[in-house]
Amino acid sequence: MQLLQLAGMGWISRSLSVAARLDIASRLVDGPKTPEEIAELCDADPDGIRYLLRVLGVVGVFHENEDGTFQHTEISQQLRDDHPQSMRHWCVLGGEMYYDVWRDLLTTVQTGKPASRSEYGSSIYAYMDKDSDAGEVYDKAMVDIARPAAAEIARDFDFSWVNKSIDVGGGSGHLLKTILAAHPTMEGVVAERADVAERGAKSLAEEGDDDLSRRLSFTPVDFFEKVPSGGDAYFLKNVLHNWSPESSIRILKTIRRAMVGTVEEHEGVGVEPTLFIIEPLLGHDNVSSIRALFQMVVCEEGTRIRSEEDLRSQVASAGLEIRSIKNLGTEHSVIECRLARD
Ligand SMILES: C[S@@+](CC[C@H](N)C(=O)[O-])C[C@H]1O[C@@H](n2cnc3c(N)ncnc32)[C@H](O)[C@@H]1O
């Protein structure tokens, strides 16, 4: 690709998010349509739709037929909400909140400080506390990218010893919903920021699954302060990579206190509480550097790529010890931790 095209890559990201917002993918489920027909269905301008879909066609998302109608490609199918590997909300997030934050990449590169601060004057989480639409998109985008790892964990790990699981920073509960579906007597709690917990509980109720609603609940927490005790298994998935080493140790210490609480509640008898950290452990190749720069731009100041060695040191500083590390078929590793023995 030439610089001429590369310079416009941001327009592709924005175009994807607009197509996802307008839900063009669901309008094409029953076959090709003209731009006029699509525009009518999503209350848009026909020429705007025509050029938007032609731009996306350049990267294989939607295809224009000789008669001027547009139809799905294999990739564009993933913009449908009902696709099993839907990426619709991830595309909205990439072309909206993340795109807006990347606008100030220059500040990050010049000062090392996150562009999220200069763009929003706060962390993205504080921003989403005030903008519930952005928060809802973020929750759903996290589900989009969590599906493959959640399915693999629920399928390949033996949780038959777990009565109660607590997912710290568990978003709208996709991981626990998947694990609970595979373990019919397990109970689960998603411990999340208040607005995420409220939205998660609401959508769980709307799903109308009585069995799941009986076994799964959401509780508002600040994981720097306190998370519930009583869990046999604690999960912490895709959380630590948003935080500096110091903040990561604080989060791990909060979970450690909850695990000690579990031991006390069980009076030392019963299962040993276990924390499963699910994270990509990265090296210093160029692909990992895309993530490294993302962390500098979007996450807390001081957040950097985490290698296995970094994680081992943070886990030890929090009074935990690693029992095993298993790599998933996704980019994640599952790091099984227990309370450190003195
Ligand atoms: C990258 S998302 C991961 C969500 C989910 N675990 C997953 O893998 O899809 C990080 C999560 O941490 C939550 N979070 C951030 N700050 C938090 C805090 N202080 N207390 C509790 N949760 C927090 C966010 O709301 C968000 O859902």
> Would you list the domain boundaries of the chain?
3-85, 146-283+302-339
pLDDT digits (tens, 9 = 90+) for 176-204: 999 999 999 999 999 999 999 999 999 99
Extended strands (E) in 113-209: 164-168, 187-192
* pLDDT value of position 290: 86
| Ligand 1 centroid from CA 207, angstroms | 22
Contact between residue 190 and residue 173 where contact means Cβ atoms under 8 Å apart:
yes
CA distances from 8 to 11, 12, 265, 278 (A): 5, 7, 58, 35
For residue 304, what pLDDT is reported? 87
The CATH architecture that domain 146-283+302-339 belongs to is 3-Layer(aba) Sandwich (3.40)
Q: What strands, in cross-sheet order, belong to the sheet with 233-237?
A: 216-220, 187-192, 164-168, 233-237, 274-280, 332-339, 320-327
Flag residues of the chain having pLDDT under 70: 284-286
| CATH architecture of the domain covering 3-85 | Orthogonal Bundle (1.10)
Nearest CA to ligand 1 atom 14: 169
Under 8 Å CB-to-CB from 130, ≥6 apart: which residues? none
Q: Are 335 and 311 in contact (CB under 8 A)?
A: yes
- Which residues carry out catalysis? 241
Token match 């109308």: residue?
A: 208
Choice from 142, 144, 222, 254 to test ligand 1 binding pocket (greatest atom count within 8 A of CB): 142
Question: C-alpha 250: how far from its chain's center?
Answer: 21
CA distance 114 to 123: 9
Ligand 1 nearest-atom number relative to CA 145: 9
- The position carrying tokens 């694990």 is 179
Q: Look up the pTM and report it.
A: 0.95
Centre of ligand 1 from the C-alpha of residue 169, in Å: 4
How many Å lie between the centroid of ligand 1 and the Cα of residue 194? 11
Test site for ligand 1: of 123, 125, 145, 251, most ligand atoms within 8 A of the Cβ = 125
* HSE-CB for 208 with a 13 A CA cutoff: 0
